[in-house]
């Protein structure tokens, strides 16, 4: 709020000028139209009451155009969140999530909630956070993978979940955090991996369109920068991707620099920052023991990743629904079937062919908002070194 001399009582002006920035005040006055005001109206104050006085000095500016280190911003996150540009990130996030929910419901998906305290992780214990659970040890969920597959055997043929997940990776990069939001979906009676990709890209397109329309009145600049997706998105097999990068071996996943080079090339050739890498080899997805193998070429899976330039956003594909093959793949992954009793029981009483994906909401927001660091997509981010505020 701005008080101008000549339009404000001098005593009121002096009182307002003495109040520290970011204090909470209650102002009574007359509202009138103004072509000079940012929102088209201005308030001519008649009285002012100080409700809560701010401490000085501020740890960081709110209206000042002064660069501040990200750590400083996150250490004083409540002040940082008062900035309109920062608040806009979370308006975008909320609009995207609302769009995702509408898109899934239009396709008759049921929203579910699966446990976040588990006895066993979806991919073994290397990246799990252990917690004390009464007299025994439990783990924070790294994924709802096992439960959403079990629901396919329960007759809930299309499900989705938007929920927190936890991954104890020691990575300290601009695209890794330890607590993140995962959007997971699963479909029964699946015909092909291409059917999954088709649903995913259409849901993605509709979520962006919903966000664009919802943000347009209050955040027109942010709304305008959201991309128009042209479907189908580009597809490239894993083998073609690594060969195009000058590498012969296909038994090792893409590295960070390779992802960056591939993303730049796809965007340049196809005009799309979004693209799929398909047909991942078993050697790359071996720990993903539930991935269905290609019947014609058992060295391949039907798995795919969705990328935005160098950012991996989603991973998924058809799952193995035949219990004996599933048991064998668990052993191949270096795990024991005895570790998954409840999961495997769901496959013993009839399990339809199914598949799905996990999608990183935080990375998606990071990509669309053009943020340099994924921590900016979380209200209060958690990483390897941050547990407060």
Q: Where are the domains of the chain?
A: 1-57, 84-377
Which architecture does CATH list for 1-57?
Answer: Beta Barrel (2.40)
Selected residue with higher pLDDT from 14 and 282: 282
Q: Given this model, what pLDDT does residue 123 score?
A: 64
Which residues are known to be catalytic?
167, 169, 175-176, 312, 315, 363
Q: For position 137, what pLDDT does the model report?
A: 93
- Give the contacts of 245 (CB within 8 A, at least 6 positions apart): 254, 258, 261, 262
How far, rounded to the nearest angstrom, does the alpha carbon of residue 61 sit from its chain's CA centroid?
A: 28
**Concatenated DSSP letters of 327-369:** HHHHHHTT--GGG-HHHHHHHHT----EEEEEEEHHHHHHHHH
* pLDDT exceeds cutoff 60 at 351: yes
Q: Is the peptide bond before 59 cis (omega within 30 degrees of 0)?
A: no
Say what the pLDDT of residue 2 is.
56
The pTM of this model reads: 0.93
Q: How far apart are CA 161 and CA 113, in angstroms?
A: 6
Dist CA 312 CA 369 (whole Å): 16
CA distance 307 to 312: 4
**Which of 385, 389, 383, 386 is CA-nearest to residue 179?**
383
The answer to whether 356 and 186 have CB atoms below 8 angstroms apart is yes
Length of the chain: 389
Domain 84-377 has CATH 3.30.930.10: yes
Provide the mean pLDDT of the chain: 94
Q: How far apart are CA 139 and CA 147, in angstroms?
A: 15
**Rounded average pLDDT over 66-76:** 93
**What pLDDT band is residue 38 in, cutting at 50, 70 and 90?**
confident
pLDDT value of position 12:
87
Which among 189, 204, 180, 185 has a CA at the least distance from the CA of 358? 185
Residue 331 banded pLDDT, cuts 50, 70, 90: very high
Q: How confident is the model at residue 5 (pLDDT cuts 50, 70, 90)?
A: low
User: Where are any strands of DSSP class E within 189-310?
Assistant: 235-237, 274-278, 304-308
What pLDDT, on the 0 to 100 scale, is given for residue 18? Answer: 93
pLDDT at residue 37 is higher than 90:
no
Indicate whether 6 pLDDT > 60.
no
Mean pLDDT of all residues in 102-114: 98
pLDDT single digits (tens) 143-175: 999 999 999 999 999 999 999 999 998 888 999
The angle formed by the CA atoms of residues 323, 142 and 301, to the nearest 5 degrees, is 45
């Amino acid at each position: 709020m701005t008080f101008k001399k000549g339009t404000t009582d001098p005593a009121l002006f002096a009182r307002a000028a003495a109040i520290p920035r970011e204090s909470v005040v209650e102002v009574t006055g007359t509202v009138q139209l103004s072509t000079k005001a940012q929102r088209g109206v201005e308030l001519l104050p008649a009285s002012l009451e100080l409700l809560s006085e701010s401490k000085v000095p501020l740890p960081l500016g709110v209206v000042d155009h002064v660069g501040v280190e990200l750590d400083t911003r996150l250490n004083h996150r409540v002040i940082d969140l008062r900035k309109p540009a920062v608040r806009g990130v979370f308006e975008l996030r909320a609009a995207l999530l609302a769009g995702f929910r509408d898109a899934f419901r239009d396709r008759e998906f049921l929203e579910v909630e699966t446990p976040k305290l588990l006895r066993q992780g979806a991919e073994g214990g290397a990246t799990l956070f252990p917690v004390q659970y009464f007299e025994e040890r439990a783990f924070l969920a790294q994924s709802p993978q096992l439960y959403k597959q079990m629901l396919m055997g329960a007759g809930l043929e299309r499900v989705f979940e938007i929920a927190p997940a936890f991954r104890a990776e020691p990575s300290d990069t601009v695209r890794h955090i330890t607590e993140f939001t995962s959007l997971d979906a699963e479909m029964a009676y699946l015909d092909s991996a291409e059917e999954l990709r088709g649903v995913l890209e259409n849901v993605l397109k509709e979520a962006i369109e919903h966000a664009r329309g919802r943000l347009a009145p209050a955040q027109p600049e942010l709304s305008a920068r959201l991309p128009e997706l042209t479907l189908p998105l580009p597809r490239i097999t894993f083998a073609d991707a690594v060969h195009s990068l000058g590498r012969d071996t296909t038994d090792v996943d893409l590295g960070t620099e390779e992802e960056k080079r591939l993303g730049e090339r796809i965007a340049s050739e196809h005009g799309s920052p979004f693209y799929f890498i398909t047909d991942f080899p078993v050697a790359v997805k071996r720990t993903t023991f539930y991935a269905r193998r290609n019947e014609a070429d058992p060295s391949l899976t039907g798995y795919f990743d969705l990328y935005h330039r160098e950012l991996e956003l989603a991973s998924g594909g058809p799952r193995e629904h035949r219990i004996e093959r599933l048991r064998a793949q668990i052993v191949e992954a270096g795990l024991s079937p005895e570790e998954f009793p409840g999961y495997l029981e769901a496959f013993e009483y009839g399990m339809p062919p199914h598949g799905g994906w996990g999608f990183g909401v935080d990375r998606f927001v990071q990509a669309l908002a053009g943020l340099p660091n994924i921590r900016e997509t979380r209200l209060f981010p958690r990483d390897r070194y941050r547990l407060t505020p």
